[in-house]
Amino acid sequence: MMKDMKEMIVLLNKWQFKPDYRVEVGNRFRDLYFLLTQDFLDKDISLSISGLRRVGKTTILYQLINYLLDIKVNSRQILYFQFSEDFTNLEKVLHFFFAGFTEEEIRRDNFYIFLDELQYVRDWQNILKSYIDQNAKIKFVVTGSASIYLRKRVKESLAGRILDFTLPVLSFAEMIRLRDDFEGEYSFESIIKSEGDKLAMFKKFQGERLPYRKLIGKYLVAGEFPALLPYLDDLVYCRKYLTDGIIDKILQKDIRLFEVEKEEEMVALYRICCSNMAQMINLRNVSAETGMAYQTVKKYLSVLKKTFLIDGVKNRQRSIRAQIKSQDKVFSLSVNLTLSMLSIENPLNPPYLDFKGHIIENFVYNSIREMGEVYYYNLASKEVDIVVELAKKIVPIEVKSNIKIKKTDTNHLFGFMQKNQLTEGYLVYGGDLDKRENGELTIYLLPYWLF
């Protein structure tokens, strides 16, 4: 086993023996890469990156390694290792690596340890904690496809020692940047946080995005995963990649980490979530309809969240207790996977027309979910699809699939704004940029392809 491990380390760490060696991972970088290199990689704290399969976590690790080599970090002090079901011995990897240094070198030098797919290693947090507590110069950067924080105490034991980052699927903006080198000046987030003339800024934003408007359909089908960007016109290949390479791997392999008893029940529940994307799900109704025990449905829904397939948001209520007890509105964290699961090839003209609104709402949610705390609002049948709470601002968003907006389409949004003393709201739909005013209240009508 030691010989096999040595061969693996030599194979995976060629820069240790050839300092000029660089891993060929291209020059297209996810947004998270820039955040880590600019603000976190040089700090005395370890980092974890978790997220869905195939979103580019391993690529980012290699790009970070190339970055360190380019800024002249000693190549011997950088280690990369990828774990699997067949190899889970983290202690042996670290012991073997540090055996190549003297005690003085270990005390004096900085070390960068990149550990990929760490979810396969049992009690990894205690091993890392031991090394970090003994030597603050050892910096770990770790990844996991399924949530690597499977138990609450894992995160608690590493508090103050490691910062957690989630790598989501590609947003539409990130897709066109990677695919077409698009660098825009504006974004929805930057505009809503601005105090300037928002309509004027939205017009400029629309002008930037207009050349890429027709890509939105292809993005919804297959544009969320970096490896598929060259193949957006090949629906057969993309569907095979999404189904066999991601969905099946999660529902047949990753769920083993969570002691799922019946794989077929998990698949059935995920299909239900896909069919009800951007809608509230009553777990007791699901239990009754499927024959699964209520606690099993609850557990499996939690697993789908921890494997980054779905997310759930609560109803925004004044009472925290009522908010916690409210039904989750379930969103898919990958529209691509949901459409593949449901065999929908044209998301802008799905078999069930009302489902188009749910697809667009889910797309908008995924685009804004990192902005702040996200809720939906439903009180006495008065609903607002998405409510984002920022530090100093509440942002209500209503989503429609129609090309034209009737006066009644804005009633709930205006009502929510009046109740919460807001002056601005946003309605996302299939038409053109516009606005509606009611006294001092303004609703901006935004084409969904601006997200």
For residue range 330-347, list pLDDT tens digits in order: 999 999 999 999 999 999
> Would you say residue 239 has pLDDT above 70?
yes
Range in 114-123, 245-254, 318-327, 429-438 the model is least confident about: 318-327
Residue 321: strand pairing partners: none
Q: Mean pLDDT across the stretch 100-115? A: 95
Instruction: Work out the mean pLDDT of the chain and round it to a whole number.
Output: 93
Q: Give the C-alpha separation, 424 to 414, whole Å.
A: 9
Of 115, 156, 121, which Cα lies nearest the Cα of 257? 121
- Domains, in order of start, for the chain: 2-167 (3.40.50.300), 173-450 (no CATH)
Within 13 Å of residue 279, how many CA atoms lie on the same side as its CB?
Answer: 15
> Would you say residue 2 has pLDDT above 90?
no
Question: Could you tell me which residues come within 8 angstroms of residue 264 by beta carbon, excluding any fewer than 6 positions away?
Answer: none
Provide the residue type at 225 as one letter: F
Whole-model pTM: value is 0.92
Range in 57-71, 102-116, 314-328 the model is least confident about: 314-328
pLDDT > 90: what percent of the chain? Answer: 85
Instruction: Specify the pLDDT at position 152.
Output: 53
Q: Which residue has the higher pLDDT, 158 or 291?
A: 291
> Would you say residue 82 has pLDDT above 90?
yes
Residues 190-218: pLDDT tens digits?
A: 999 999 999 999 999 999 999 999 999 99
Hey, how many other C-beta atoms are within 10 angstroms of the C-beta on 115?
A: 26
Instruction: Specify the pLDDT at position 326.
Output: 82
> Would you say residue 156 has pLDDT above 90?
no
Using alpha carbons, list the distances in angstroms from residue 392 to 366, 373, 388: 21, 12, 11
Question: Could you tell me which residues come within 8 angstroms of residue 77 by beta carbon, excluding any fewer than 6 positions away?
Answer: 109, 110, 111, 112
> Would you say residue 302 has pLDDT above 60?
yes
42: confidence class by pLDDT, cuts 50, 70, 90: very high
Instruction: Specify the pLDDT at position 79.
Output: 98
Instruction: Specify the pLDDT at position 1.
Output: 54
Q: Give the C-alpha separation, 360 to 350, whole Å.
A: 12
Q: Give the C-alpha separation, 249 to 340, whole Å.
A: 14
Q: Taking a C-beta distance cutoff of 8 angstroms, is the pair 374, 323 a contact?
A: no
> Would you say residue 325 has pLDDT above 90?
no
Q: Which two tokens stand for residue 345?
A: 């090839």
189: confidence class by pLDDT, cuts 50, 70, 90: very high
Instruction: Specify the pLDDT at position 51.
Output: 95
pLDDT > 70: what percent of the chain? Answer: 98
Provide the residue type at 99 as one letter: A
Q: Mean pLDDT across the stretch 388-411? A: 94
Residues 172-184: pLDDT tens digits?
A: 999 999 999 999 9
* The 279-280 sheet, strands edge to edge: 279-280, 329-332, 310-313
Instruction: Specify the pLDDT at position 223.
Output: 98
Q: Taking a C-beta distance cutoff of 8 angstroms, is the pair 433, 445 a contact?
A: yes
Of 209, 341, 200, which Cα lies nearest the Cα of 275? 341
